[in-house]
Amino acid sequence: MSDKLGSRKNVLSAEFLSPLYRISGEVTIREQPLADLLNDKMSNFIQAEKVYVSPIGDPTVFRAQHGDGMLRKDQISLVILQREEDGYARHTLYRNLGNVPIAYMLFAILPGFEVRGGLKISARSEVDNMLLQSVDRFITIYHATVTLTARPEFQFSGNAILLNREHAQLFFLERALERMDKP
């Protein structure tokens, strides 16, 4: 699995969105998926390298660039990943792995963001457990798009997006009309 992560072994590129900033960088994940690192309650921060910071209202303008940075997990609203498999979880209670079809389409509202994408689950009870009862902070939304509510012309998309449930204000779910493996 680790040899698929990109040019550097065990390093994953990601975009971290908060209500105020877009932070792009690389995270060393070793042999643990990013979702599990973010859901680990033993630490409040995640370390990133090659960090670029932009205001969320103008995400194309870089305000700062640093070699290393520490991101506070509870302040991250969304993490955008380009590869679906980079959103898979291994150790968390919520594990919707890639071989399960998208069963539900999700629309979520977070402060400053609207998210549309799919959930890979097999039963409605898994939706309730994942969204409402899970102890995991971050859940994976597949083939998703994030729209800035104040600037709808700015959208971010990824084959996997890690959504911070604690930032979500509202979830809408509907059964997927057909099985969806690609956007």
pLDDT digits (tens, 9 = 90+) for 50-86: 999 999 999 889 999 999 999 999 999 999 999 999 9
Residues 6+ apart with CB under 8 A from 20: 55, 56
pLDDT digits (tens, 9 = 90+) for 1-26: 334 444 467 899 999 999 999 999 99
What residue segments make up the domains of the chain, in order of their start?
2-80, 92-180
Residues 6+ apart with CB under 8 A from 153: none
Q: pTM for this structure?
A: 0.86
CATH fold for the domain made of 2-80: SH3 type barrels. (2.30.30)
Task: Output the CATH code of domain 92-180.
Answer: 2.30.30.100
